[in-house]
Structures are given as structure tokens and as C-alpha cells.
Structure 1
């Protein structure tokens, strides 16, 4: 019975029906209240509905019952980050990685939490460790590039962005990262090309025209820069 309820809950979650999944997890927990995996599953269903504080409670109950559950620690880290508590998320992710050294997602999320704290060298190490398990992951390579840029390692940031785009040529965030790094290097024409590619991929994102405007302004192409900034404002509404 429990197995059937769990399978049905996971099926509903996969289909984007988090409310139905929640109801099934709760039915299963009425039968087996000490099943750690059910508390973790309920946490994911609540998180999918934006009920983050409730999800935190579910993950903590899971970990009280199963302290060695790496997925539970990773899930707890994710909700803590969403609650704007990256400093609390870091030890949760570290615990997940300690329990499962091959847990690439936990290493990636650890890198994200460290980046949010401005601990870029540690973040770079976490992203590189994640890449040993998921070498073709554009998201990890993109975020690695961002951390390298923040650390002032611009040449490496360019290389990381290009490697992300080799994995996924339409990855808009990597195109933006590449454009920003090329602007830092004074390669303004190349930067504008990347920003415009990003806009073609994500037409509603103001980051592309805003970045292009910065690079165009650096070249003294004031009219083109103004037009680009106006486009960014229309898309994003940010007076900056």
C-alpha cells in the first residue's frame, strides 16, 4: 500500500501536480509516520508549491528519522537557500557530500550557496568537484564562470562560459557571462555579439540589451547604446 501511494505521489509530482502529490504523501504518512522518505517526499511537494517554511520542517523530520539521508540534507540546503539563509545551507550541503561523495547536485548547490556568501574560491572548488561527475553540465560550467569572474579571473571565466556553450549553445546565462567577461577584456564587438545572441535565445530578458548597451557605450557608440538601454528598460522596467 505504501509503495503504491509513493509511486502515485511521484507520478503526480513528475506531471507538475504537486497538490495531488502532497495529499498522497500525507495519506502514506498516516499509515507509516516514521518513514523518512515520505517526509522528504512531502517536503519536495510543498517546495514545488512555494510553501518553503513548511518544506523545511518536513526535511528536518526526515533527518531526525534518517540522519544519514544525503538527499534529505541536500533538500534541506535547497529550502534554506530559498529562505535566504545561505550560511545555514552550506553545512547541510557539506553533510550531503560527506555522506555521498558522488552527489554532483549537492556539490553544485554548495557552490551556489558559497557564491551567495561571496566565498568565491570555495565555490570554484565545489563547482570543479561537481564537474568531475557531470562533465557536460552547462549550468555548472556557467556558475563556475560567474564565480571566476567575481574573483577577477577573467580569462578563466571566458573559458568556462565557452565550455558551457559547447555543451549547450543556447544557454542564455552563459552567453551573458561570456559577454560580460569579454567586455572586461575590452573585446567589445565580440561582447555585443554574445549579448545579442542571448537576446535571441531569451527575447524577454533585459540582461542581453543592457549588456550590449554597456559594451557599445565603451566604444563611444552612444546612439546604439541608448537604443539598447531603452530596449532593456522596456523589457525589465529597471530605471538603472
Structure 2
């Protein structure tokens, strides 16, 4: 269904590019508009996925504390998973419900946890799965392990917030440097359309405009990569 929407939007973008003939280039206009419109469904899915993972990551420390408290109260790990799945809101609750149902229907706990790590590709989830599987092989106090893991995750969140605050200036600068040339071009199109029209009609001017657009995209990507510090 997503591919169908992407194909339909790509065709619509190609027709729109043919109609507009951006920069007096028919072929680049068609290809550019088709790529832009066709990528919208995938961008929407990527955004939804990122939002869901962020919500899961935010809920995860509390979930680990819940499991630790339940196990200290005397519940087994499987029963603690069931309680967690009932008491926690989506998206974390349904994911742990899948883990509980899989192992309750006969799948080994190791397989169910590894499938969780595949569905939720977060570093914290991989740590959780590794800690549980290692404890089952070597023994130890799993409740204490989960409590310490929750504390480490909270400290990482705190450090991540500090780094994000310190890099805010770079992100704002990247946004301004990206928007400013576009706003300048739109202003010239309104105030002095002949200025840009002459450049667009010149054989060398077309390539200069295309190079400027590619440079803007590359510059924004590089600035985002520099300011996006992963912790």
C-alpha cells in the first residue's frame, strides 16, 4: 500500500514537474518533483517510526523499574512481563505483551526477547535482552541488574539533554543558513523577477542554479550530521 501511494505521488509529481518546468529544465523538473512527491509516504512512515521509538525509549526506564519491583515482590519473570504489558500504555505495553504471548505459547524466552530486539532496534533494548539472557545462563540478582540498567539509561537521557542544549546553536544556524537563500530567491522572484529570469534562461546560469540547490542540500545534511551527536 505504501509503494502504491509512493508510485501515485511520483506520477503526480512528474506531471507537476512537466507543467512547472522548474529552472527551464524539463527533465530535472520531472525527476525532481517525482522523487520529492514519491518520497512523501516513506518520510511519513519514517517520522511515525521515529516518534514511536522515542516514546518507547521514554517509557523503558520505568518499565525496567516495574519489572525489578515485581521480581523483588516474588513474581517470576514471565509473570512480571504479563503485569507490565497490562499496566503500561502503548507502544511499550503491546510489545511486551507479544513477548509474553510468544513464550507462553511455547517459544523459548531467548527467542521471544531476541525478536523484541529486532522489532525495537534500540540500544537500551539490546542491553536489556543481553542482561536477561546472561543472567539466565550465569545466575545473579536480575532485579538488581534491571534497576541498575534503568539508572544508567536515565543518566544517559540526562547527558543527552545537556548535549542537545549545547548543540542548539548549531542546529538553529543550520536552519537559518538553509532557509535564508530560499527566502532571498523568493523575494527576488516577487520584487525583481527579471533578475532571476535572465539567469534561468542563460545556459550557464541554469547549471549555476542547479549547483546552488545541490550545495544547499549537501550543506544542510553536513551541518545536521555535525550537530546530531549520538549518545
The TM-score normalised by the length of structure 2 is 0.21
Structure with greater helix percent: 2
Instruction: Pick 1 or 2: higher relative contact order, CA cutoff 8 A, min separation 6.
Output: 2
